[in-house]
Amino acid sequence: MAPGEPGENQGMTSRLFEPLTMRGTTFRNRAWVSPMCQYSSVDGLANDWHLVHLGSFASGRAGLVLSEAIAVTPEGRISPDDLGLWSDAHAEAVAPVVDFVRKQGVAFGFQLAHAGRKASTYAPWRGHDSVPVGAGGWQTVGPSEEPFGRYAAPRAMTAADLAHARAAFVAAAQRAAALGADTVELHFAHGYLMHQFLSPLSNVRDDEYGGSLENRMRFPLEVIDAVRAVWPDDRPLLARISATDWVPGGWDVEQSVVFCREAAARGVDLVDVSSAGNDPRQDIAIGPGYQVPFAAQVRREAGVPTGAVGLITEPAQAEQVVASGDADAVLLARAFLRDPHWVLRAAHELGADVEWPPQYLRGAFS
Ligand SMILES: Cc1cc2nc3c(=O)[nH]c(=O)nc-3n(C[C@H](O)[C@H](O)[C@H](O)COP(=O)(O)O)c2cc1C
């Protein structure tokens, strides 16, 4: 049998390539595509860029392809160029992406998002400020009137705003379910709306949604309850959190553990543990796998499966994260941009079996 021939390494064990079953859904391996904004939509609609971009990760046999942050309302977009899922027309436009990925035997999920006070900004290659109202931008909303850095100040959300945002998450989850998505990931990280509610740096409300940890968790937990009520029982629900603001006095890993315990009790099946994004004063200790210890701590102390993300680039490193029990899956972003077929290469390097697309089988032979 030639090196690299499928089956050559049969019998060798890789934890990274062990399937993961949650509820009625099986992910074929534990190397997942982390959400990546593409800033390539007009009016929130998916197009051929999204099909090719996300489709390539399915040809590359990732265990789960997660969409970029897909906005549940127009005002929840990070930029005017974000993908959205707030109408049936949006669902129709993104349907070919879901179908293609799933036809490859690869699980697909949407990252449902609302950017709150960090909405209405330029795509990174166009600028780093708020897009002014009247120039394609809009009035943002947030838990309080505190702005993020030099961005335009948000309007503090009223009870009606909260109900509207909650209902938008529900409607987007229903559309995702109807499209056949295997999972949805609630975006509670990176300083976007839910993280803004969680962190005392961005949430200075004096009603039942601000102040104590219990109050700051209230809105995100309500969203979990509302989404879980419509999301099919046999499909897993994921949430991405920022484990810490990396700012003294801010959101931290201890509060994250409490929140994740509550989230798991309400039907979140796996927490994807990232960090930062809520305060420009953040001082991040960055390095290979720098957020893995947070995933390990949440898994251990909150008793919920986790995904680890952040500067995981090498197959042996990814294998170690899963094999050591620090996390149940790894999510990679930039490594997939460099090599959409990272998983096929990882299987070869780790001596694991992976089912190549028949069209690409010749690539398995040296
Ligand atoms: C181009 C790009 C777009 C991103 N967009 C999102 C996003 O939509 N949602 C999200 O949660 N994280 C987003 N991220 C963060 C990644 O998902 C990931 O957490 C981060 O890049 C660290 O992983 P890495 O070191 O493997 O790149 C983005 C990262 C990149 C590079």
Within a domain: 13: no
Is residue 192 part of the annotated active site? The answer reads yes
Within a domain: 1: no
Domain count, the chain: 1
CA distance 306 to 290: 15
Within a domain: 190: yes
Calculate the dihedral angle through the C-alpha atoms of 360, 362, 365, 366, rounding to the nearest 10 degrees. -100
pLDDT at res. 364: 84
Mutate to test the pocket of ligand 1, among 32, 33, 37, 187 (most ligand atoms within 8 A of CB): 37
Q: DSSP secondary-structure letter at 116?
A: G
Task: Determine which residue's CA is closest to atom 29 belonging to ligand 1.
Answer: 36
pLDDT at res. 12: 58
Task: Determine which residue's CA is closest to atom 12 belonging to ligand 1.
Answer: 35
Residue 98 tokens read as 């879901």
Within a domain: 6: no
Within a domain: 132: yes
Domain interval for residue 62? 20-364
Which of 192, 209, 290, 360 is an active site residue?
A: 192
Specify the pTM: 0.96
**Ligand 1 neighbours by CB, cut-off 6 Å:** 34-37, 68-69, 111, 187, 189-190, 240, 274, 309-312, 332-335
pLDDT at res. 4: 35
Domain CATH for 225: 3.20.20.70
- Closest atom of ligand 1 to 311 CA is 25
Within a domain: 303: yes
E strand or H helix that includes residue 26: strand 25-27
pLDDT at res. 119: 98
Residues of the chain scoring pLDDT < 70 = 1-12
- Whether the Cβ atoms of residue 61 and residue 356 lie closer than 8 Å to each other: yes
Centre of ligand 1 from the C-alpha of residue 76, in Å: 18
Within a domain: 250: yes
pLDDT at res. 365: 78
Q: pLDDT tens digit string along 213-253?
A: 999 999 999 999 999 999 999 999 999 999 999 999 999 99
Mutate to test the pocket of ligand 1, among 32, 34, 273, 309 (most ligand atoms within 8 A of CB): 34
Within a domain: 187: yes
pLDDT at res. 8: 42
319 CB-near residues (< 8 Å, 6+ apart): 14, 15, 16, 346, 350
- Closest atom of ligand 1 to 185 CA is 11
CA distance 268 to 57: 25
